[in-house]
Amino acid sequence: MSKTKNFWRAVQPGPERAFLLEAFSSKLARTLWVPFAFSSLVFATGFLFPNTFYYGISVHLLDALVFPTSLAVFLTAKVFKRVRNGAVFNLLVWAISGTLSAIVPSVTLVTMSGQSVPEFTNQVPFGIVSYSLMTGIAGVVLASWRISQARMKTLKQNKELLGSIRSELEVQLATIREDIKRNVDVELEKALTALEKTSDAKDLSEKLFAAIDEVIRPLSHKLAGFGLSAFPPKSKSPLMRRINPRGRVSLARLVAPEVFLVFFAVFIFPATLVTQGLASAGVVAVLVLIEAFALVIIQRRAQKFFVSRFGGLAILVLLSAVIGFSYILLVDVEYDTSISIGFVLVSFTTSGIMALVSKRLDDINELAIVNHKLQAVVSVLRQEAWVTKTQLAKAIHGSVQARFLAVALRIASVPKLTDAILAEAKRDIESSIKDVSVSMEGPTGSFSEQFHTIVEAWDGVVKLTLTSEVETLEIINRFPVARACVLEVVGEAVSNAAKHSKAPAINIELRDHQFDQLVVSVWSAGKLSTQTTRKGYGSQMLDEVTSSWSLTNLKGRVYLRAVIQLAK
């Protein structure tokens, strides 16, 4: 991050400032729409005044020269496609555009008439400043609109994709829970029926062997390969918790003292100096500083004062009206309402811009919150799908297949089936049916009990150190699916660390995170391999059970950080 951004955020923190700064430094602030908007504003406001002619040349015609002049500057800026500091470059483009747009009409008038017009030429210095500022305002406003439109579009696309992924996961979960389990139960029931009807040991054993090859193994393989090809999109929009009531905004977000001062200094103060004189301009300067000081107080003290945007706008405009119209009490000259109206207009413009920006940011944030909730639902569904299919695959490939194989081999080895053998075989197969049902529920032990099993497995090889608050462990135990995912991540991380780095000690940290998430951190001494390898089981598992994960090197240690979503 550049020093400019750090300074800006230190002096003027807040989402509106960060958003305007992003627009200020964006290449979108120097698109060809900027000179078009700027010149249209200049040309349109020219019709508010009489159409003066100088040596037969209309002022409106001279105003129209602003467009080709500023357009030429912005076309030239397009030559520089890669810019090191976008904010500085944009500022330079706006300044050059504003300067030339103020000078070219005067130069054109002198060239065409051969005469200098003092009342027209004297306005050039003011035009340089005001035109440059107007170009910058047009650039920031257009860039802000384009940036917010792009974010809204991306968030809406993500929302649609998340919705489709959620539906797909729900269907696949239903398939796992109902269809696959029902198929397994049907085959097991067939085996029980065969036990009751057959008296030929060889025929029965062949049927049991066939069930292993045709049903049990394909099911376990199908479950082992189960996964979703499309992964949830990751939102790049910064997410804020909703801290204000819907439709209302903090009054502090509607003020911008620095923008108010700039607008007043460029557009109102010079006019006051020309029409009212130096003494009156000094009074106006004091009033402006008083209002700027009041805005700073509001910015810092009214963070929790929530109002509707129109209500906040009315409060700030009323403040400016009171300060602006007090001018008549402080000066002993003929009263000119334009000075007081200037206070109101500048306040309305500044607060209006901040109100629009805050509304746009709130809309983006609301959609981001919806996306995050969908992201959380999808993450939980992925976790549940992975845990369910893994437990089913283990049960089917392990205990169910083992029981079928044991029954088939035992029956194949006897010369004649007896009631006792059939009864024992029936009990074993019924027990395998129970194994499938139990596997759907998952391990029932607490996290500490299951983690102790991992510690015992590595006893004497690797020292495992767990850091976690008691409250965090209680949260984990409330969510069985998330608990299974945490244990799988920890187990895989410990195995990889022990295998690749041969670290004698591994540290594990569990801590709560915002947005109902849990952060699992595992680190040990070692160094990541620089060779690019294809994704293995561990990477695929982490993709399935975490919202996000990263593996990094830092100061001679390998760090795994995984974020696991907790079910609602």
- Partners of 57 in the β-ladder: 54
- Answer yes or no: do 390 and 422 share one domain: yes
In a domain, 208, yes or no: yes
In a domain, 487, yes or no: yes
CA distance 13 to 8: 7
- Would the pLDDT of 11 be above 50? no
What is the per-residue pLDDT for 343? 83
What CATH number corresponds to the domain at position 471?
3.30.565.10
CA distance 362 to 249: 9
- Answer yes or no: do 494 and 520 share one domain: yes
Taking CB atoms within 8 Å and a gap of at least 24, the contacts of 326-335 are: 326/287, 327/280, 327/283, 327/284, 327/287, 330/283, 330/287, 331/276, 331/279, 331/280, 331/283, 333/276, 333/277, 333/280
Residue 150 sits at φ, ψ, to 5 deg, of -65, -40
- Answer yes or no: do 473 and 537 share one domain: yes
**Of the residues 402, 418, 441, the one at which a domain ends:** 441
The arithmetic mean of pLDDT across residues 315-342, rounded, is: 77
In a domain, 259, yes or no: no
- Answer yes or no: do 391 and 476 share one domain: no
Give residue 5's pLDDT band: very low, low, confident or very high (50, 70, 90): very low
Least confident range from 40-44, 176-180, 248-252, 367-371: namely 176-180
CA distance 103 to 109: 10
CB 387 within 8 A of CB 441: no
- Would the pLDDT of 7 be above 70? no
- Answer yes or no: do 476 and 549 share one domain: yes
In a domain, 30, yes or no: no
- Partners of 544 in the β-ladder: none
CA distance 183 to 186: 5
How many structural domains is the chain composed of? Answer: 2
In a domain, 66, yes or no: no
Note the Cα 523 to chain centre separation in Å: 27
In a domain, 179, yes or no: yes
**Of the residues 441, 465, 485, the one at which a domain ends:** 441
In a domain, 234, yes or no: yes
- Answer yes or no: do 435 and 503 share one domain: no
CA distances from 120 to 101, 116, 126 (A): 14, 8, 11
CA distance 145 to 152: 10
Least confident range from 65-74, 100-109, 117-126, 127-136: namely 117-126
Residue 402 structural domain: 172-240+378-441
What is the per-residue pLDDT for 230? 47
Note the Cα 329 to chain centre separation in Å: 52
What is the per-residue pLDDT for 6? 46
- Answer yes or no: do 422 and 518 share one domain: no
Instruction: Express as a percent the part of the chain with pLDDT over 90.
Output: 2
In a domain, 525, yes or no: yes
- Would the pLDDT of 432 be above 70? no
- Partners of 551 in the β-ladder: 560
Q: How many CA atoms lie within 13 A of 395 on its CB side?
A: 23
- Answer yes or no: do 465 and 547 share one domain: yes
- What is the number of residues in the chain? 568
